[in-house]
Structure 1
Amino acid sequence: MSMSTPGPERVPSTVKAGKTTGQGKPPSGAKKTGPAAKKTTPAKKAAAGGKGRKPITPVKVGGGRPWGPIIVIGVVALVALGIIGFGVFSVVQGSRSWEDKVADIKGVVNYRAQKNPQIDARDHKDGTLSYVTSPPVGGAHNATPQNCTGDVYDAPIANEHAVHSLEHGAVWITYKQGLPADQVATLAKKVQGKDYEFMSPYAGLDKNVSVQVWGYQLKTDDVNDPRIDEFIKDTRIVAALEPGISCSGGNTTTGPVTAAANGTSMGGS
C-alpha cells in the first residue's frame, strides 16, 4: 500500500476589508476619518472671518427724489390756491358797498359825511345859485339836468344843471381851462359813449382835474391818475339819489343858467 507524500500546507487567503462591512461601507456609528471629517460648516467659516472668500462689494441703489413730479404737483397746488384765493377775494370785494370801495381811494373827499345842509339840499330853484364847493357836489339845483349821455362839452356849463345830473347818478369830469389838448383828449376817452357821464372845462379850478358825483369829489393834476378810473367805476350810477332817471333829454347848451333852459324839467325834490 503506497502512501502519498503530504504537500505544502495551505494557508487560507485573507481579504483586507479596512474596517468595512461586506458591502464595502463603513459600519454604522463608525467614527469618520479622513478629508471628509475635516469639512467646515458655513457658520464656522463665517466665524473664522470668511477666510479665502472674496469680499462682496455692496450694490449702490439710487435714492434720488423724483423732482419732476414733485415740482409739477407743487405748481398745480400753487395755481389751485391762487384760484381759490382770488375767488374768496372776489366774493369779499363783491359783498362790499360802493361807499366802502370809494373810501379806499386815497384823496377822495366824502362830503356826505359832513351832513352840510347846503350840500344835502335837493330842492329845485331858478336862477344863479351859490355852492359850498368848487365844482359843486350837491345842493339846490335847476329843475332841468345837464344832458349826461357821454357828452363832452368844450366850454363851461351851468353848475345848476350839472348838480341835477349828479342827483341822477352821473359822474361829472371837469378840467382846468387851458389844459393841453392831448390831456383833454385823454379825459374825453373816459366819457365818450358812456351813459351817466359828462365832461366840461371849469373856470378857476385849483387842480388840473376834478371828478365828482353827488357828495364825493376827487382832485388830481394827472389826467392819467388811475384813481380817476377807479372813482368812476365805483360811483357811476350807484351814487344816485334819484336812481333810475334817464340822463338824456336834459340841457345841452354851455354857459351860465338862463331862464329858458334848453331841456326838460325832470322830477325830484
Structure 2
Amino acid sequence: MSKQTEERRKTGRKFGEAAGASGGKGRAGKSGGKSRRGGITPVKVAGDRNWGQIALFTAVAVTCVAILGYTGYQAWYSGKSVNERVGLIDGAKDYRGKNPDKLGRQHQPGSLKYPHSPPVGGNHNDIWQNCQGDVYDKPIANEHAVHSLEHGAVWITYRAGLAKSEVDKLAKRVRGKDYTMMSPYKGLDMPISIQAWGYQLKVDSADDDRIDAFIKSTRRVASLEPGAGCAEGITVPGDKPRNIPGGQQPGQPAPGQPAQPGQPGQPAPPGGAPQNG
C-alpha cells in the first residue's frame, strides 16, 4: 500500500482534496449564520405606567400642602390684632385707631348725634338692640345699635329699596349667628354698610367677599366689653330710642303700666294657659 493511500485512510480525505477545505468551509458557514441571527438586539418595550397611582400620589401631595398652608395661615391670622385684620381688608375704615376720642362710651338717654352714618361707636342708650342673628325689616335706633356694637356685634345695614335677592344674601350671613344683626338704614351713600365698634365697610353688592372678611375680622373680637351678651335687648324695630328706667328689662312694662299677659315675667293668661317664652 502506497504512502498516499495510507494517508487517505488515516485522514478520511479524498485524493486531491486540500487539507481543512471541507471542514473549514462548514465551520465558517455555521459561524456566519449564528453571527447574523445574534447580531440584532431585540428592543424591550416598557409596560404602561400606572397613571392611577401617580394621580393618587399627586392628589395626596397637593392636599397635604394645602392643609399645611391653611394651618400656617390660620396660625398667622390668629396672631393678628383686630386692627391688623381690618387693615387687610381693602376699603375698610378704621375709626377706632385714628380717632378713639370720638367714640365715647357713656350711657345717655334720648336721641344722640353721631359723626358717622351709620354710627360705629360713641355714647349710647342703656339698652342694646338684640343681636342674636336678628334680621329687622325696619330701621332700628342708632342708640341701641351702638350699644350692641360695644358688646361685639356686627351690624349690617342696607339702603331702602335694595333688591330682595341682595337682602336675602345679607340675611343668610346673619340668621342663626350670634353677635350679628341687620336692618335697613335711611340715607346710606352706598347700597350696603357694615359696622363693628370703630370699624366700617361700605360695598355695592351683597356678593362682595369683603363682607365675610369683615365679619370674621370683627365679630366679637371688636368688643370693648368681652363676655357681654346680645340677648335680652330691644327686639322690636323703631328709629327712636326707648328710654327704659335703669334695672328694668326691655320686655317689662314701665312702672305704673299694666302688665301684658303672656309676656316674660308677667302673669299667665286666664285659665292657667302656659306663658309664652
TM over 0.5: yes
1:160 paired to 2:143: yes
TM-score (norm 2): 0.72
Q: Are 1:118 and 1:131, in contact at CA under 8 Å, matched by a contact in 2?
A: no
Distance 1:207 1:92, change over 3 A: same
CA distance in 2, matches of 1:60, 1:238: 76
Partner of 2:59: 79
Match of 2:95 among 111, 123, 128: 111
CA distance in 1, matches of 2:23, 2:2: 31
More moved, 215-224 vs 253-262: 253-262
Partner of 1:227: 210
Q: Which runs of 5+ in 1 are unaligned?
A: 1-14, 27-32, 265-269
The one-letter code of the counterpart of 1:87 is I
Equivalences for 1:45-60 in 2 at 5 Å?
Answer: 45=28, 55-56=36-37, 58-59=39-40
Partner of 1:91: 71
Deviation at 1:16, TM superposition (A): 4.7
The one-letter code of the counterpart of 1:79 is A
Can you list the C-alpha shifts for 1:217-241, whole angstroms capped at 9, x where unaligned?
1111212222222322332222222
Distance 1:38 1:174, change over 3 A: same
The one-letter code of the counterpart of 2:88 is D
Deviation at 1:117, TM superposition (A): 0.6
The one-letter code of the counterpart of 1:80 is V
Can you list the C-alpha shifts for 1:57-82, whole angstroms capped at 9, x where unaligned?
7546335454522x445423432331
CA distance in 2, matches of 1:65, 1:138: 73
Partner of 2:242: 258
CA distance in 2, matches of 1:183, 1:20: 124
Q: Which has the larger radius of gyration?
A: 1
Q: What secondary structure does 2:37 align onto? A: coil
Can you list the C-alpha shifts for 1:91-113, whole angstroms capped at 9, x where unaligned?
12211136344333222222222
Number of residue pairs the alignment of both structures matches: 237
Distance 1:63 1:106, change over 3 A: farther
Partner of 2:271: none
Q: What secondary structure does 2:184 align onto? A: strand
Partner of 1:196: 179
CA distance in 2, matches of 1:198, 1:256: 17
Q: Percent identity?
A: 41
Partner of 1:242: 225
Q: Which runs of 5+ in 2 are unaligned?
A: 251-277
Distance 1:187 1:66, change over 3 A: same
More helix by share: 2
Distance 1:204 1:263, change over 3 A: farther
1:186 paired to 2:162: no
TM-score (norm 1): 0.73
The one-letter code of the counterpart of 1:249 is E
| Aligned-CA RMSD value | 3.3
Q: What secondary structure does 2:167 align onto? A: helix
Q: What secondary structure does 2:62 align onto? A: helix
Deviation at 1:39, TM superposition (A): 5.4
CA distance in 1, matches of 2:46, 2:95: 63
